[in-house]
Amino acid sequence: MPNMLDYIAWRGDLGFESSALNEVDSLIFSELAYIKMDGIAPESDGETVTLRELERLYRAAGYDQSFLVNDPYRTLASAASSARFGGIRVGRYVNRVEHDSQVQFSAATFFLPGGDVFVAYRGTDNTTVGWREDFNMNFLSVTPGQAQAAEYLNSAFGAAKGGVYVGGHSKGGNFAVYAAAFANHPEKAERLRAVYSFDGPGFNRAVAEKEEYAAVLPKITKIVPESSIIGMLLITREPITPVKSEAKGIQQHNPYNWQLLGANFLRAEAVTGTFADEALKKWCDSLNENQWRCLCDAVFGALDASGATTLYEINSNKLTNYNAIARALFSTDKTVYKGFTEAVKLLAVSGKDAVLDSTRRKLEHSEKRR
């Protein structure tokens, strides 16, 4: 079945003037938000580069993101060589990773023909800071990244001549929805065209019950793969559209695996998670605010002590780092410790990761000694 790269090859000769922006285009812009644009995409208002220029500058800078499962360069290379996307201009690039404030935030604005813009938020990158912010969403009423997303969207209304579309994949989808709900630009109601969350997690109860969130629900399209794990975490109030994926388990989170039918995603009948998926979500939902905070402090405190700042560094010495997490968790709340043991077990089964499975057995052995 075709995916978004096939869509670019098929639809790439049609400009946005003759074929309006659709849900697949929105995923493409959301995937392009993962592109490392540091030093090559303008940050200030009024300055932009085309995607065609961005692709050339990316290669000239020697950037390589092939370590990412959803390597965004594949999308950039295809889009840059097409008539539909090659001339689209991008600017207002922001990329912040701040360890002390526990924020990983990146966004870019794509300028469409006719004056509309698409604001795209990057999902979780490979930094431990980015992953910690994901965990923090479970107990903070607002994370620094969410607050910055709302500020960024406010300024985007000023930069745009027409309407504003907003989107993102994974945490970027969460940022897109949060920004749409809590940006306070006076023209938001009239100029906000649509919001796209691609397998983005929901919100904790403090955010989900806000009137601002309810007010933008009619403009939100949330698309998730049929066995979504990430997108089904926390609370979602907007309707969920499940789509077919060629992958299984957590690999369904990768948008390159989503199947298309023409200019739309191939719809699935329902979200049908596995037993492991449901058990993992149930455990996540069972923890209260203090337990989540305790879990985050233990896990990421252990990683900080190891000196690892990226997933690559963690995986380069998985046994040592996973065992460090196990030791840190040993002193935490018993319910959190037991739940984390079960979560590691489920992840090991789902991902067939021998090191995770070994860590799970050590956690279970430690539990017997408690």
**Per-residue pLDDT tens over the stretch 4-62:** 999 999 999 999 999 999 999 999 999 999 999 999 999 988 899 999 999 999 999 99
Q: Which residues of 34-65 are buried (b: 16+ CB within 10 A; e: fewer)?
A: bbbbeebbbeeeeebbbbbbbbeebeeeeeeb
Within 8 A by CB and 6+ apart from 111, the residues are 48, 88, 89, 90, 91, 117, 160
Write out pLDDT tens, residues 97-128. 887 778 889 999 999 999 999 999 999 877 77
pLDDT surpassing 90 at residue 306 = no
Confidence of residue 129 (pLDDT cuts 50, 70, 90): confident
Would you tell me the crossing angle of helices 354-368 and 318-329 to the nearest 10 degrees?
A: 30
Ordered by where they begin, the domains of the chain are: 4-273 (3.40.50), 276-368 (no CATH)
| pTM of this prediction exceeds 0.85 | yes
Q: Would you say the C-alpha torsion 86, 92, 138, 178 has a positive or negative sign?
A: negative
User: DSSP readout, 11-52?
Assistant: HTTS-TTTS---HHHHHHHHHHTTS--TTTS--STT-EEEHH
Write out pLDDT tens, residues 192-239. 999 999 999 999 999 999 999 999 999 999 999 999 988 988 899 999
Confidence of residue 353 (pLDDT cuts 50, 70, 90): very low
